[in-house]
Amino acid sequence: MPHTPRSVIPRARRARAALLACVVAGCLIAASAPRSAEPQGIGDRLYPSLGNPGYDVLSYDLSFTYPGSNSKPLTAVTRIRARATERLESVNLDFTHGTVSSVDVNGAPADFTGAGEDLVITPAAPIPKGGALVITVRHTSDPMSGKGRDGGWVQTDDGLVMANQADAAHQVFPCNDHPSDKAQFTFHVTAPDGYTAVANGLPWGTRHTGGATTWTYRTQHPMATELAQVSIGRSVVLHRRGPHGLPVRDVVPAKDEAQLEPWLAKTPGQIAWLEKKVGPYPFETYGLLIAQARTGFELETQTLSLFEKGVFSEPAYPGWYVESVMVHELSHQWFGDSISPRTWSDVWLNEGHATWYEALYAEENAHRPLQERMKAAYGLSDRWRATGGPPAAPEPPRQGQKISIFRPSVYDGSALVLYALRQEIGRAAFERLERTWASLHRDGTTTTADFEELASRQAGRDLSAFFQGWLYGRKTPPMPGHPDWKSGSA
C-alpha cells in the first residue's frame, strides 16, 4: 500500500556536540557531504516500510513518565542494545508520533533526522559489522491518536494502555517494529500518586519519590514490539496461582474488581486445559488487563492480554462466548507470542490457531460442536478468499486501515485449514504436530513453510499439495471426509 508518512520528528537537527566528538575522534565520515536520509523497511509484503535492515535488537529499556493526563505527551527515554549485522554508516529506527530531543550512540551524541516513519541516526563513526550498538533516544510519546491511525497508546477512562498490533509500536517508542526481531524488554513507568502502572513480564521493583512512583517490569522471554503492553490507570492488581504455581495477575479498574472476579477466576482452569492440548504455558506469568476503552478488539499482549471491559458486561454475550474469547487470547501466548510470525503474511498461524482453540474449548466445555462451526466457515470460505485473499497470502491492508489484514480468512477461514489438516492426517498426528510445534519453536519466529514441513514430518508424507490448495488457493479445496460440504454458492 502507499506509504503515508506522518512524521513529527524535527528535521535535520544537528547536534553540535556530535561534531565536536567527531573532531576529537578524528572521524572523517560525518564531515563528508551528508547522505540523504531515506526510510527503510525489511520488505514485508503487507507492511513494506516496517522494520529496518542491518542490525538485530537484543534489548529495549523503555522509560515513560506519565504527566497525570492521558491527552498530554509522556516524556520518554528509549535505550536499545543491538548488534550490527552489516557495516552501518547510519541506523534507521521506526518512530513517529513523538518529538526527539537527542540521540546518543555508544555514549556519543549522534545526528538524527526524520524520514517517512523512520528516525535516521548517523553515529559519529560507522559501526563495523558485528559491532555493538547502544542507542539512547530521548523523546516524547504522544497518546493523542493521529487522524487515520490505528493503535499505539489507547486512552481509557482512567489512563492509558497499549495496542500496537500490527504496526503501531513505533507510534509509542523508537524500535525495529517487526515481529521477526524479538528482544528482551525492561520498562520503567513513572506516574503520580493514585495511579498504578503494569507492563509485560514480572515486577522488578518500585521506587517512590516526591508524589510519584516508578514501577519497573522485565520480560523473561524475548518479545515482539507489537506485543508490548504498558497500563497506567486507577487500577488494582489481583494475584492468584495458575498450574504449577504460575503467577497469574490481572489488572482491572479498581471500581470493577468485584464484578470481574468471577471471570478472572476462570483463567487458571483455562491455562490447565490448554497445557493438556499443547504443552506447558510458555511464559513467566499471565493475566488479563481489563480497560474501560472502546478498541473494538482484544489483544494478546505478551503475558498480559488486553480486553475491553464491555466484553464482560455486555448482557447480549453468553458466558460460553466470553470464555471462548478469553481462551482465544490465552492461546495466542503460545501461537503468535512465544512463536512469532516471521512475516505478516504468516499471521494465519496466529489467528488460525487461536480461533481453533477458542472453538475447541467451546466444544469441550459448552457443547458448541466444532464441526458445525467449521461447516459454516466452509460455506463462507470462498467468499472470504475472494475478498481478503487466501489464508497464507492475504491481501494488503486497506489504506488508512492497517489492521484490516485481520479478516475472516485469517480467523475461522484459517481454523478451517487446521480442521482440514486434522481430517487429512488424523487426530493423533494432528495433536502430536501441535505439541511439537509449540515446543520446537518456543521463543522463536516461524514461517508458513516451517509449519508445512513439520506437518509433513508428523504425517509421514509430503503434504505440500494439500497446503498449496488450502493456504494459497483462491478456491477452497474439497473438505476431506465431508464431500458434501459446499462453499460460496450463496
Binding site for Zn ion (CB under 5 A): 351, 354
Minimum separation from the CB atom of position 210 to Zn ion (A): 41
Minimum separation from the CB atom of position 240 to Zn ion (A): 24
User: Whole-angstrom Cα distance, residue 214 to residue 235?
Assistant: 15
- Give the Cβ contact number of residue 339 at 10 Å: 25
- Give the Cβ contact number of residue 295 at 10 Å: 17
Minimum separation from the CB atom of position 358 to Zn ion (A): 8
Minimum separation from the CB atom of position 436 to Zn ion (A): 22
Pairing relationship of beta strands 118-122 and 91-94 according to DSSP bridges: antiparallel
Residue closer to Zn ion by CB (options 197, 354) is 354
Residue closer to Zn ion by CB (options 122, 345) is 345
Handedness of CA 329, 331, 333, 335 (dihedral sign): negative
83, 88, 90, 94: CA torsion to nearest 10: -40
Residue closer to Zn ion by CB (options 250, 351) is 351
* Number of helices followed by number of strands (H, E) in the chain: 10, 21
Q: Is the peptide bond before 359 cis (omega within 30 degrees of 0)?
A: no
Residue closer to Zn ion by CB (options 90, 331) is 331
User: Residue of minimal CB distance from Zn ion?
Assistant: 354
Cite the beta strand spans of 193-287 per DSSP E.
196-199, 202-209, 212-218, 230-233, 235-241, 247-253
Cite the beta strand spans of 254-383 per DSSP E.
288-291, 305-308, 340-341
Minimum separation from the CB atom of position 386 to Zn ion (A): 22
> In the beta sheet, which residues pair with residue 102?
138
Residue closer to Zn ion by CB (options 66, 411) is 411
Burial of 328 (0-12, 13-18, 19+ CB in 10 A): buried
Residue closer to Zn ion by CB (options 246, 354) is 354
Minimum separation from the CB atom of position 171 to Zn ion (A): 21
Nearest residue to 98 via CA among 139, 127, 58, 134 = 139
Minimum separation from the CB atom of position 154 to Zn ion (A): 17
Minimum separation from the CB atom of position 300 to Zn ion (A): 6
Residue 439: CB partners within 8 Å, gap ≥ 6? 279
Residue closer to Zn ion by CB (options 104, 351) is 351
Residue closer to Zn ion by CB (options 158, 323) is 323
Joined grid coordinates for residue 387: 475478498
